[in-house]
Amino acid sequence: MNFRLIFLALGLAVILPFRATAGVITDLNNMLLQTFAQEGQNVIPPTNSGAMGMMGAAMFDAVNSVNRNFGAYTSYCSVPGSTSKDAAAAQAGYDVLISLYGANSFYASNFQAMLDSQLSVITDTTARSNGVSLGTAAASGMVAARTGDGSTAATTWSSQPANTPGTWQPGNNARAWGATSGTFLKSQGGYVTPFTMSSGDQFRTL
């Protein structure tokens, strides 16, 4: 298995091979982590993991389309001449965030301010414009790849009677065990298209 792609699923590897864009990518990762903190209990860890993976992979494809040092995650994007990798990473990250949170969300102004700040320091207007186009293409490819991945499917799990031996129960059921409240998080997660494996049960032992 390609271990670089494993790291991509965590949204981390993108900061390693591209030193020229490390600041841009680190800032976007930090902004996304801050967004998770602001959302608090309004969102759950599996959703956050998917967002981080999508943003990281899109930025990777954007920068890697210029360098082509590695195999593409989704695909290589066209690079029209002089292209700023910083602009490509910034725009890819921004576009993924907007696709996930919405242009009218509470967080959209923060994302826009970050993008404006990152693009403003790139003085080569041609390279900046080309980078923006590249970043948009990489983000579009990432969003398309994750559309219909099952992450938004409704759960089909339902709790069994509290006295059923060996069956997990939501903590708010009588004589339940496990959490003190709530229910399974994303019980349909095993059917979500993985970021790197061929299927959720690829390495299942039984």
Do 58 and 25 form a contact (C-beta atoms < 8 A)?
A: no
pLDDT at 13: 40
For the chain, where are the E strands, in sequence order? none
Q: Convert 37-65 to b/e letters by CB count within 10 Å (16 or more is b).
A: eeeeeeeeeebbbbbbbbbbbbbbbbbbb
Residues with Cβ within 8 Å of 65's Cβ and at least 6 positions away in sequence, in order, are 72, 76, 77, 78, 79, 88, 134, 138
pTM: 0.79
pLDDT at 135: 97
More confident residue, 10 or 105: 105
Where does the pLDDT of residue 24 fall: very low under 50, low under 70, confident under 90, or very high at 90 and above? Answer: very high
Mean pLDDT (whole number) for 70-91: 93
Write the pLDDT tens digit of every residue in 1-11.
444 443 444 44
Please give the structure tokens belonging to residue 11: 């949204």
The full set of domains in the chain, from first to last, is 3-146 (1.20.144)
